[in-house]
Amino acid sequence: MYQQAKYDEPLLNEIKGEEEKEISVDVPDKLKRSSLNIPNLEEWQVVRHYTRLSQMNYGVDINTYPLGSCTMKYNPKLNEEIAKWFSYLHPYQEESTVQGALQIMYELQEMLKKITDMDDFTLQPAAGAHGEFTGMLLVRAYHEYKGELEKRRNVLLPDSAHGTNPASAAMAGFNVIEIPSNEKGMVDLEALEAATDDTTAAFMITNPNTLGIFEEEILEIAKIMHKNGALLYYDGANLNAIMGITSPGIMGFDIVHLNLHKTFSTPHGGGGPGSGPVGVRGELVDFLPVPIVRYDGEKYYLDYDVKHTIGKVRSFYGNFGVMVKAWAYIKRLGGEGLKNATIRAVLNSNYLKERIKGYYELPHKDLRKHEFVVKPKNARALDVAKRLLDFGVHAPTVYFPLIVHEALMIEPTESENKETLDKFADIMIQIAKEAEENPKLLEEAPHNTAIKRVDDVLAARKPVLSWKDKR
């Protein structure tokens, strides 16, 4: 994988060469269709059909979306409008003809540097997990340069880590070692210290962690890593927990990825597109992917001259449309606005937690940041999630983080007001009461949706992955 990232130019040329050959395909008669079964419908019938389907769908434009860790905040339409202005650009255009686009990328890099206190950024990675993988390639390249990659084979992670973290570390060729959490839901410092030595490449952590709890010992954690020559990696997918208040740089991190499609209000879900920029500090700037957008005082340009670059990690320059939307969001809010977004995200999460905590178990007692985790008292997490659908509300994240059994992970986000939070709390409280009085109601939910309870086991064993006209 690492080698591939470095050598994608020759590969690209090879593919281009093949495309130039003429392609002719002989289709055997038995594979040819003699007629096509196209529905004979009028326009209004098609419009009504698709409008009805769209009404059966759910999104942040319809109602609150408390999907923990996914940060499903409202995406202002202004961002879409501005992104549209750039939709006619082509990635092969001359630099002199796309100065505005390059300026946006440059300014975004600069703003992200300020928000995170990192020294430099790449905007290439196409998602959070892709950012993590890029970060892990940087960890590799750094230790390789120092002549220590042979021995530094281990990446440490807390047991509360987001699932993509261990996957990214493993894909970059590292062994993954899990560090247990203590009774407060934070990294067990003694266990971390015992596991860290000159075989450690990096510690990967998100702060606040997936329980929404801030790791208070983060400066001590940074000290332990750096004393041992290891790097500290920050999973900054949900930066609305801290931005404007503190930063990965202040906390002592060396590498950070951000999810523009969560923190900076660009639409996501349904598979993309996303953007997972990676920021680094100190010596690590010499390893970033190329190109990086630079400004020489007169013009913006793509800089391919990075001393020990790991190469490209994405075709062209990343998901540009997503960058424009995030840029527009940051510009519109400004520093104070971003800080207020954080304050409100944390306030909303704690308000909701306080309203429902008498009716659900709260595994850890302290203040939360942008999200919190509860357990139902008399029901399964899945049944509560399904029953929520009957009230027209999207379910929270369930069964994650893994260290809390029957977890409901709730992230209201900053874009909800007190009215929608209260409405959601009332529904959660009613469901808790139903679980006690009439558990069947939950077990058989949802009752009001177009599709009733699906058979999860059957769906996994015999998946139907495509639609076919069976007439």
* Least CB distance to ligand PLP at residue 130 (A): 7
Sign of CA pseudo-dihedral 67, 70, 73, 77: negative
Comparing CA positions, the residue from 444, 439, 438, 345 lying closest to residue 389 is: 444
Is 157 or 352 the residue whose CB approaches ligand PLP more closely? 157
Is 163 or 334 the residue whose CB approaches ligand PLP more closely? 163
Instruction: Give how far Cα 172 sits from Cα of 3, 132, 175, Å.
Output: 11, 10, 9
Residues that bind ligand PLP (CB under 6 A): 69, 127-129, 162, 164, 206, 235, 237-238, 259, 274, 276
* Least CB distance to ligand PLP at residue 238 (A): 5
Is 306 or 326 the residue whose CB approaches ligand PLP more closely? 326
Could you give the CA distance from residue 202 to residue 399 in angstroms, rounded to a whole number?
27
**How many CA atoms within 13 Å lie on the side-chain side of 115?**
34
3-class DSSP assignment, residue 204 = strand
Is 172 or 285 the residue whose CB approaches ligand PLP more closely? 172
* Least CB distance to ligand PLP at residue 205 (A): 10
| 426, 434 contact by CB (below 8 A) | no
* Least CB distance to ligand PLP at residue 19 (A): 30
Is 248 or 446 the residue whose CB approaches ligand PLP more closely? 248
Could you give the CA distance from residue 183 to residue 364 in angstroms, rounded to a whole number?
8
What residues form DSSP beta bridges with 262?
none
| 366, 182 contact by CB (below 8 A) | no
Is 281 or 369 the residue whose CB approaches ligand PLP more closely? 369
* Least CB distance to ligand PLP at residue 167 (A): 10
Is 215 or 235 the residue whose CB approaches ligand PLP more closely? 235
The first and second tokens of residue 48, run together, are 């009504």
* Least CB distance to ligand PLP at residue 159 (A): 14
* Least CB distance to ligand PLP at residue 428 (A): 22
In 33-108 the beta strands, taken as DSSP E runs, fall at: none
Is 149 or 167 the residue whose CB approaches ligand PLP more closely? 167
Residue 36 identity (one-letter amino acid):
L
Q: Which helix (H) or strand (E) holds 390?
A: helix 381-390
* Least CB distance to ligand PLP at residue 412 (A): 15
Is 200 or 206 the residue whose CB approaches ligand PLP more closely? 206
Could you give the CA distance from residue 177 to residue 189 in angstroms, rounded to a whole number?
14
Neighbours of 57 (CB within 10 A): 9
| 338, 327 contact by CB (below 8 A) | no
* Least CB distance to ligand PLP at residue 37 (A): 38
Is 212 or 446 the residue whose CB approaches ligand PLP more closely? 212
Could you give the CA distance from residue 302 to residue 91 in angstroms, rounded to a whole number?
12
Residue 328 identity (one-letter amino acid):
A
Judging by DSSP bridges, how do beta strands 120-122 and 372-376 pair with one another?
A: unpaired
**How many CA atoms within 13 Å lie on the side-chain side of 252?**
20
Is 102 or 155 the residue whose CB approaches ligand PLP more closely? 155
Residues 6+ apart with CB under 8 A from 180: 158, 159, 188, 191
* Least CB distance to ligand PLP at residue 248 (A): 13
* Least CB distance to ligand PLP at residue 40 (A): 42
Give the residue closest to ligand PLP by C-beta: 128
Could you give the CA distance from residue 90 to residue 166 in angstroms, rounded to a whole number?
36
**How many CA atoms within 13 Å lie on the side-chain side of 436?**
8
